Amino acid sequence: MNPETAASPARLFFALWLPQTVARQLHTRAGGIVGRSGGRLAREESLHLTLAFLGEVDERRLPELQRLAADLRLPRVPVRLDRLGFWKHNHIVWAGCGEAAPELTTLAGELQRALVAAGFLDAERAVTPHVTLLRKAAHPGELPALPAQEWSAGELVLARTWRTDRGSTYEPMARWPLQ
Ligand code: 2AM
C-alpha cells in the first residue's frame, strides 16, 4: 500500500467523471483564476461531479455496493456547465449549471435512495451539481463567463478519495454504463 494512504482509509463516492476535453477546458480556466484566488488546483484527470458521498465503507461490503450500482440501469445524463462560482463557506471555486437536467436529479435521487435503503447512507441529500476546480481559495473577485461545456454522461463512476499531505487524491474504482 502507498505509505501516504496507509494512515487514512479510503472514502468512497459516486460521481460523473468529466470527458477529457471538458476537463482540459475547465482546468485551463481555473489556472487563469488561481493567480487571484490562491488555493490548490484540482488535477485535470480527477475533475468530477459528485452524486453521492459515502465516506468510509467496510471493504467487505464492496460487492454489495457494486451490485446496487449495477442494478440501477438508468439513462445517460446530459450535463451542461455554464458558470463559474465561489463558495465562501468551503473556499472552493467551482463550475456549475443554472438548472440540473431532470436525468441528473433522477440519477442522484435513485442512487441515494438505494444507498439509504441498503444502509450505506443515513439520508438522502439534495445535490447541487458542481465540479470543484480550486480548493482553499480566497475570494477571486468577479469570475469570467464560462462558455457552456456540454456532454452526455454515459457512465456512473464509483471512486475513492484519500487525503495526503498534498491534498486529496481521487481515483475511479468501477464504472457502470448509463443507457
Ligand atoms: P466537493 O468537491 O464539493 O468538496 C470526494 O471528496 C467528493 O465528494 C468531492 O467532490 C466532494 O465535494 C464530495 N464530498 C466530500 N465530502 C463530502 C461530504 N461530507 N458530503 C458531501 N459531499 C462530500
**pLDDT tens profile 53-111:** 999 999 899 999 999 999 999 999 999 999 999 999 999 999 999 889 999 999 999 99
**Can you tell me whether residue 105 is helix, strand or coil?**
helix
Q: Atom 9 of ligand 1 has which residue's CA nearest to it? A: 50
* Ligand 1 atom index nearest CA of 125: 21
Task: Look at the alpha carbons of 113, 116, 121, 125 in this order and tell me if their dihedral is positive or negative.
Answer: positive
Q: What predicted TM-score, i.e. pTM, was given to this entire model?
A: 0.94
Q: Atom 3 of ligand 1 has which residue's CA nearest to it? A: 132
CA distance to 18, 47, 48, 157, 163, per residue, from 81 (Å): 11, 13, 12, 19, 27
**pLDDT tens profile 125-174:** 999 999 999 999 999 999 999 999 999 999 999 999 988 777 788 999 99
C-alpha cell at 44: 485535470
Domains and CATH numbers, the chain: 14-177 (3.90.1140.10)
75: Cβ contacts below 8 Å, ≥ 6 apart: 103, 178, 179
